[in-house]
Amino acid sequence: MVFFLTIGYLVLIKKQNTHKMAKGNINVSVENIFPLIKKFLYSDHEIFLRELISNGTDATSKLKHLISIGEAKTELGDAKIEISIDKEGKKITIKDQGLGMTAEEVEKYINQIAFSGAEEFLDKYKDNEAGIIGHFGLGFYSAFMVADKVEIITKSFKEEPAAHWTCDGSPEYTLVENDKTDRGTEIILHVAEDSLDFLEESKIEGLLNKYNRFNQVPIKFGTKEINDPTFTPKTTKDKDGKETTEPHKQITVDKIINNTDPAWNKTPADLNDEDYTNFYRELYPMQFEESLFHIHLNVDYPFNLTGILFFPKLSPSMDMQKDKIQLYQNQVFVTDNVEGIVPDFLQMLKGVIDSPDIPLNVSRSGLQADGAVKKISGYITKKVADKLASLFKKDRADFEKKWNDIKVIIEYGMLSEDKFFDKAKKFALYPTV
């Protein structure tokens, strides 16, 4: 992996400027970095959509922050990210209403591979990170995993002309002015022949639900018909006294696919048992049994971590399947393999963990070894043990009723984790025989 990180910093830009058009080469230390990105850097081509939406989310979060501190004299408005498919034209468009880029910024952030705009933004505004996701500067180039040509049409919130960048997957690009008047960025992917399945609506909707269903910024994907809330149907009678009610008036609205304010972002004081139950159903719509109880995680020092873990009712077949806990980073799904973050004995739980401080590799698909991960794992173990001790003390009779459903997890933890054993001695039950 060091090899890939090194490539990004060996970039040299050679450009030829004219008054209306810039043309040049994205020179890297290999003849063409794009086949490397496509083949090696990202293990799964489908994450191109996650990366590009994350960029749009960053652009919106940055603008919101600049407005809040008075550095951007504009209104955020009803900012959202819009995904659209042109099946006939073999194009996918990802459009945001964020801060946009000037031509100079396109040169800086797009043509210099591995220069991360998010990192620079965080350095400048480090007192308020504003929920910025990107840290690698390579996310945009994941577009070339599914596209043989990519266009960027972008208009900055600053009073400068819009820019239109085009690249066909070779190191050559063009950069010209554009007549776009609305703020934000459109990324147009000309889908390659080997990736035409991404032009199917069901495929894209599946990816949005997998990676972005809790995205911070609303994501529009198509439209839907709903009953007009302002319309009151009239009921009339005919000469025989038979009543007829006119049908509801339908209106077309944006189809927003994500919940921007999931339960784990709220404080436990703002949630009741029904809220937790509804969130459990939102996470696992095919799970018919309720969870036994939940644990709300919320810590901001020495690391940031939020989340909700649920103790499921284990089936009689002793379902030991893992991959039930979902890891998010700033509300963007990363993986359901939480090995290393969640202790082994707790991987039978369900729920969500969200932390911007969990170090991921360059493609955001795997963990990097880090001391913070061990601290997070220890914190989760402590929170679970404290919750179980609290339940035992508060209502022992109810705890005893649930014992057979949770004892496997507790006993496994006592055998595998010394610190958990020390705490579990207070609530572990030893039925007489």
Whether residue 372 is predicted with pLDDT greater than 50 in this model: the reply is yes
Cβ neighbours around 124 below 10 Å, total: 8
Token pair of 36 as six digits: 């490397």
- Give dist(CA 113, CA 111) in Å, integer: 6
In sequence order, which residues have a C-beta less than 8 Å from that of residue 239 and are 6 or more positions away?
Answer: none
pLDDT digits (tens, 9 = 90+) for 219-229: 999 999 888 88
**65 phi and psi angles, rounded to 5 deg:** -70, -45
Nearest of 187, 217, 202 to residue 109 by alpha carbon: 187
Q: Is the pLDDT of residue 13 over 70?
A: no
The mean predicted confidence, pLDDT, of the chain is 82
In percent, how much of the chain has pLDDT > 90? 46
Average the pLDDT over 7-11 and give the result.
34
pLDDT, average across residues 401-418: 90
Beta bridge partners of 187: 94, 152
Tell me whether the omega of the peptide bond preceding residue 302 falls within 30 degrees of 0, making it cis: yes
Q: What is the mean pLDDT of residues 23-47?
A: 61
- Give yes or no for residue 5 having a pLDDT over 50: no
Mean pLDDT score, 125-148? 63
| Tens of pLDDT, residues 144-159 | 889 999 999 999 999 8
pLDDT given at position 26: 56
State how beta strands 235-237 and 147-155 pair: unpaired
Spatial distance between the Cα atoms of 152 and 96, rounded to a whole number of angstroms? 11
| Model confidence pLDDT, tens digit, residues 266-320 | 999 999 999 999 999 999 888 778 889 899 999 887 888 999 999 988 765 555 5
Whole-structure pTM value: 0.80
Residues 6+ apart with CB under 8 A from 137: 8, 109, 113, 114, 115, 116, 117, 118, 119
Rounded to whole angstroms, how far apart are CA atoms 205 and 257?
A: 8
C-alpha to C-alpha distance for 357 and 336, rounded to whole angstroms: 17
